[in-house]
Structure 1
Amino acid sequence: MRYELYYWTGIQGRGEYVRLALEDAGADYIDVARERGDKVMTPFLRGTRDGALPFAPPFLKAGRLVIAQTPTILAYLGPHLGLVPGGQMAEIYAQQLQLTIADFVAEIHDTHHPIAVDLYYEQQRAAARKRSQAFREDRLPKFLGYFEQVLERGNGRQALTRHSYVDLSLFQLISGLDYAFPNAMRRMRKRIPRLRALAERIAERPNIAAYLASPRRIPFNQQGVFRHYAELDPAR
């Protein structure tokens, strides 16, 4: 099957978690908006195309299926791409972990847009500084500590009993946080050795290494979820 991925051009965003799974598995897919422009998504978002109605990208077209929401897309792709261990228990646990990653991503986004998404960062800088301080001191250690424990309770190297889409998503989390909060992540380094080792191993997987070196991997920037503002990540 040739999959069709729909997501905004110019940013990694939440679509990157799906993209990493497709790339790692060597799946046949097209990044539709990158080839045809963002307006190609409008009929789906307005409900004038057949299939489920997405609230927002990313969404995936697989044959006649239209699947939205990153964790749902990955829960569908996992068994088809060999990116989740077999059995209902493993599939449910993988989706649980991916939903927790989605919760974390939402909190990361809110560090730079704590008031409203339709306001510029400069219009909410004071609130962003307060939110980011709480994030660095409490939420960042809490979430990363949880995922470190997940690896420890697994086989020490992966979230589940073998390589899965969850590992790819954890790699993206660590990569994005290193960009957005380099100082805070440097202070966390000794507390998350398993996550660090996992991220390094994922980056070395042949298909992922090729993808990261290609123009298909859009660099982190100030329009995506992970944004770096020096005032939100002080040296100490």
Structure 2
Amino acid sequence: MRYELYYWPEIPGRGEFIRLALEAGGADYIDVGNRSEEQGWGIAAIETFLGGEVTDFPPFAPPFLKAGELVISHVANILQYLGPRLGLWPGDEANRLWAHGLQLTIADFTAEAHDLHHPLGPGLYYEDQQEEAARRARQFISERLPKFLGYFERVLIDNPAGERHLVGETLTTVDLSLFHVVEGLRYALPNAMAEAEQEAPRVIALHDRVRDIPRIAEYLASDRRQPFSEEGLFRHYPELDSDG
């Protein structure tokens, strides 16, 4: 099957969670937002779906995935669908539910990271909420960042199958997603992450193993991988970082 990933162009954002799974699974896919509108793709194709002109089940916002006749929205929902089909999902029910729960925790982690620069909501520019963002960043760096990283560190320690993966003994979409969060936070908060990583060595070791998977390494070096910037989910504003 050829999958179609619908996400905004030129940023990794939440679409990157899906790209990493598709790349790691060796899937045939089209990154619609980053394709030419002259070829029938691009933002126009995304907006057609959002307007309900293509499906009876229009998603609220990207990312969403078209798989045959199915249109699937939300990162965790998409990965729960893709995981078994790409060999990136646990085989037993207990671990499948566990993996999905971890993916939802990553969604919470991601939302809090986004709210560093938009604590009053996406309807305002960062420049309109800098004072609130600075206060939010201090709280995130001192409390929430170590709490989330510490949680995933414990998950790795407690995995009955060993510390190489979050769930079971093989790669899952949850490993890939945590890799992206670490990458994003290293971009957004390099000083804070340099300190926080000292207390989460297993999380960082997992990140490094994912980075070195041949398919992922090839993807990261390719032009398919979109660069981080101040237009995306993870943004680097030095004044929000520790010692920035």
Scaled by the length of structure 2, the TM-score of the pair is: 0.94
Determine the structure 1 residue equivalent to 2:218. Answer: 210
Shift of 1:209: 0.2
Shift of 1:91: 1.4
Shift of 1:189: 2.1
Aligned residue among 135, 141, 144 for 1:139:
144
Determine the structure 2 residue equivalent to 1:158. Answer: 165
Matched to 2:216, the amino acid is I
Q: CA RMSD in A?
A: 1.0
Determine the structure 2 residue equivalent to 1:30. Answer: 30
Q: Distance in 2 between matches of 1:56 and 1:77?
A: 19
The 3 A distance-change label for structure 1 pair 51 and 66 is farther
Structure 2: gaps of 5 or more residues: 36-40
Q: Distance in 2 between matches of 1:163 and 1:85?
A: 9
Q: Distance in 2 between matches of 1:189 and 1:99?
A: 22
1:92 aligned to 2:79?
no
Determine the structure 1 residue equivalent to 2:233. Answer: 225
Q: Distance in 2 between matches of 1:177 and 1:50?
A: 35
Q: Distance in 1 between matches of 2:127 and 2:15?
A: 26
Which deviations, in whole Å up to 9, do the C-alpha atoms of 1:39-95 show, x marking residues without a partner?
A: 111121111212422010000000100000000000000000000120211211111
1:188 aligned to 2:193?
no
Q: Distance in 1 between matches of 2:227 and 2:31?
A: 16
**Identical counterparts, % of pairs:** 54
Determine the structure 2 residue equivalent to 1:234. Answer: 242
Determine the structure 2 residue equivalent to 1:76. Answer: 81
Structure 1: gaps of 5 or more residues: none
CA contact (8 A) 1:51 1:65 kept: no
Q: Distance in 2 between matches of 1:40 and 1:34?
A: 11
Scaled by the length of structure 1, the TM-score of the pair is: 0.98
1:111 partner SS: coil
Determine the structure 2 residue equivalent to 1:18. Answer: 18
Which deviations, in whole Å up to 9, do the C-alpha atoms of 1:101-125 show, x marking residues without a partner?
A: 0011110000000012021111100
Determine the structure 2 residue equivalent to 1:120. Answer: 125
Matched to 1:131, the amino acid is R
Determine the structure 1 residue equivalent to 2:38. Answer: none
Shift of 1:234: 2.6
Q: Distance in 2 between matches of 1:111 and 1:153?
A: 30
Q: Distance in 1 between matches of 2:151 and 2:242?
A: 24
Please identify runs of 4+ aligned residues in structure 1 that moved more than 6 A. none
Q: Distance in 1 between matches of 2:47 and 2:106?
A: 27
Matched to 1:27, the amino acid is A
CA contact (8 A) 1:11 1:223 kept: yes
Q: Distance in 2 between matches of 1:157 and 1:204?
A: 13
